[in-house]
Amino acid sequence: MLRLRPNRCLYGAPPTYSGTGRPRVHGDKFKLNDPTTWWEPQEILEIDDEKLGRVSISRWDNVHFYGYPEKNISIFKIVSLELTDRVADRAPLWLAWVGKSLPALNVVRAKYLRRFSIDHWYRFAKQRLHWTLPKLSTPKQCERWSDLMPLMTWELWLARDLVADHHLPWQKPLAKLTPGRVAQSMNTLLPIIGTPTVAPKPRGKSNGWPKGKKRLPKTRYPVVKKGKKIPKKQRQSSA
């Protein structure tokens, strides 16, 4: 589910080939801010929303962006039918659906609102859980590291009632801890839980590498180097 810019221009399906000239790639224009370019929607539904009250949802099929004429999408227009003081509530909300199974009109807005929590989780995984920090060697290692992200998120969610808030001097105390604040306070819970790792071995002489076992060097991959971009003026002068 994608949100569209209110002044975006899309295109309908091209007409049938007339037999002369190049076949048309785009059909009629569909300007989101120009109601005169809209054609009849495939479906219209009016429902009661908890926040906006009575809203109208319209759906148009078989439209596409200018650069992707082969990819047809469905767009939705959600507009509040009740007069409010907020300008944002009076402006229509345009959404686009890209997928196989088309959602029902009564759940379109709810699906879009779930996008905010997903985006915040991606930001939390990248910044706090260091999702993109390790420089791993193989795709299998990257998949294994990515599989740990939701597991760590669930652990933080389950530990929210087991840890006390240890905020930094410039942070405000919180009664309801966020996942980031729980991760910051896990140092008191981890010693109680313990660790499944083996206890450290006493210091001494190592047994060394087993006899008869071959040492295989680590697989090295070529470094990807990007070419230096030549300024436009320099390219014109050389031409």
Compute the chain's Rg from CA coordinates.
28
Amino acid letter, 131: W
- Which helix or strand (DSSP H or E) is residue 30 part of? strand 29-31
Domain ranges of the chain: 2-15+24-115, 128-191
pLDDT in single tens digits along all 239 residues of the chain: 888 999 999 999 998 988 888 899 999 999 999 999 999 999 998 888 777 788 889 999 999 999 888 899 999 999 888 766 665 557 888 999 888 788 888 888 888 888 888 889 999 999 999 999 998 888 899 999 999 999 999 999 999 999 988 888 998 998 889 899 999 988 888 888 888 888 777 777 778 888 889 988 888 888 888 777 777 777 666 65
* Angstrom distances, CA of residue 103 to CA of 51, 58, 97, 112: 21, 13, 8, 11
Q: Which tokens sit at 101?
A: 């199974």
146 neighbors 131 (Cβ within 8 angstroms): yes
- pTM for this prediction: 0.60
